[in-house]
Structure 1
């Protein structure tokens, strides 16, 4: 009995996809870009991250329950615990409901406004699971909204102002990742001759490539405008322009990894590192990791050097 309970617990935890939790680190973007290094600000952002880990896990469980038939036809998703029959659908749905309640309660305790952001995220994602994921273009915006709301959660939890360029950049970069995800899924579906997502029937690689080019360019430009400084209602110092090359390199690197020929060369060595799973690229690709570390180091150095100019009452913008 104890062994069965342990197996169920471990498989249920796996279904919550903890490997995707690092994307919730995006809640720390707000205090980082605002150069707010006070302990209480980061503790509140940490609370926002915990709330999003819980609510996102609830959504993953719900999504796997709804997609159980399609996942069983997918080359890798068929091994997920729910699709493989290791976790029953009723048990998964009960766990999802419990996680959602705990997430909302904890978010309300951290900051009342944060609960509203978490609730909005949950409602959008539930709509995505039931219907919106089958609607072309809207499915991309639903995926991107999850990242954008994480960034907004950091702003709400920290209680400081923000620049519209900051949110626009996050939204566009999230949209870029969503397009890359669909592009990889479409290639897999074409290779296998099996459509695992209904919405893929409405997409083509030429269309996704055009969308990718538009969104990548827009994301880089919006970040550059934010980094230009206060004159453009952006960052609190123009020294953030030093981080622009790392953003460009990161976008180029990701596009290289998602290129069909490059992806095929890497498939045999690291089959799990695919743009179908953005979190695996961020966690596993050395080039992306080094670019992120260099970008983060530059942001911290600029922030610390600019620290003396920050307003003590926290009225600075991101």
Structure 2
């Protein structure tokens, strides 16, 4: 889980013993900003597993409802982690030129309020999760535990931090499956796992390259990585990702009634991975969502890939 900088707030750091600046309304808005609602887009991964079964189930509404519940529950639980992360890093953020404007570091949201809000978000997420499945609640609890371990120290451990950040995306995919009681393919899990690791390693590589080129300040854990090691990680990840997807595509061909479209989907998928690797190799993969929004060719390849899967299962 990678906390993103909140919108800039022209406020001064909180002084111990002084009430939060701006009053209750500003505090509530600060809690909301720290909850990172724009990051909830990551949770669309919960719809990945349901996508492949909607065409074969008689309970479309039920599957979609369970997926929506998983999306809401995961969003709430993830927000609780963002709140705790910023509360833990408050002193370091106050010394940072831009992070000092985050609501907690700026004194808009007191640290104690952040912790209370985190508990509320987590409890709400667990409560929503129970509406779908007890297994979903277990996934949410494991996600929270792993991410808290990351916040409280594992983010400073090389390799472990890569695995934990990548596992967040994997758990989102698993959450959608368990919420709707869908059997998850081993290839689906491998594609999600190594796709996540590929993007995380690429992001770290971009940050290291930026440091080497400009001397820009980077997180302390990155100083333990070399650019060549991160290239090694994302190269292996991309190779396993492509291999796993190709094997999964042949499995999908059988489940799609022998349609050739799942096999055809390998073409835009592989080309898209290689296209994304160009950005990684150039040290421009700092934010995957920015690459997706900026690279028109990558957008076309993504649309073609999704189109082949839609044809496979729904046409």
TM-score by length of 1: 0.83
Could you tell me which residue of structure 2 aligns to residue 299 of structure 1? 309
After superposition, residues 119-268 of structure 1 pair within 5 angstroms as 119-190=141-212, 193=215, 196-229=218-251, 237=258, 238-260=260-282, 263=284
Q: Partners in 2 of 1:136 and 1:182 — Cα distance?
A: 11
Task: Give the Cα separation in 2 of the matches to 1:235 and 1:142.
Answer: 33
Q: Shift of residue 202 of structure 1?
A: 1.2
- Aligned residue for 2:158, secondary structure, equals coil
Post-superposition shift, 1:18?
Answer: 1.6
Sort the Cα spacing of 1:83 and 1:46 in 2 relative to 1 into closer, same or farther, 3 A.
same
In structure 2, the residue matched to 1:91 is 113
2:132, 2:180 within 8 Å by CA — same for their partners in 1? no
- Kindly state the Cα deviation for residue 187 of structure 1 after the two structures are TM-superposed: 3.2
Indicate the larger mover: 277-286 or 86-95.
Answer: 277-286
Cα separation, partners in 2 of 1:220 and 1:71, compared to 1, 3 Å: farther
Match of residue 16, structure 1, among 4, 24, 35: 35
Structure 1: give runs of 5+ residues left out of the alignment.
264-274, 306-318
Structure 2 CA distance for partners of 1:187 and 1:44, relative to 1, 3 Å: same
Matched position secondary structure for 1:65: helix
Is contact 1:182-1:276 (8 Å) kept? Answer: yes
Contact kept? 1:20, 1:279, Cα under 8 Å: no
Provide the rounded CA distance (Å) in 1 between the counterparts of 2:32 and 2:181: 32
Distance 1:302 1:185, change over 3 A: same
Contact 2:261 2:311 (C-alpha < 8 Å) held by counterparts: no
Distance 1:154 1:44 in 2: 8
Question: How far did 1:126 drift?
Answer: 0.6
Partner of 1:278: 288
**Residue deviations 1:59-80, cap 9 Å, x none?**
1111112223333455544433
Aligned length: 291
Range with greater deviation from structure 2 (216-225 or 176-185): 176-185
Match of 1:43 in 2: 65
- Please tell me whether the aligned partners of residues 252 and 262 of structure 2 are also in contact (alpha carbons under 8 angstroms): no
Larger RCO of the pair (alpha carbons < 8 Å, separation 6+): 1
Shift of 1:235: 7.0
**1:195 CA drift (Å):** 5.0
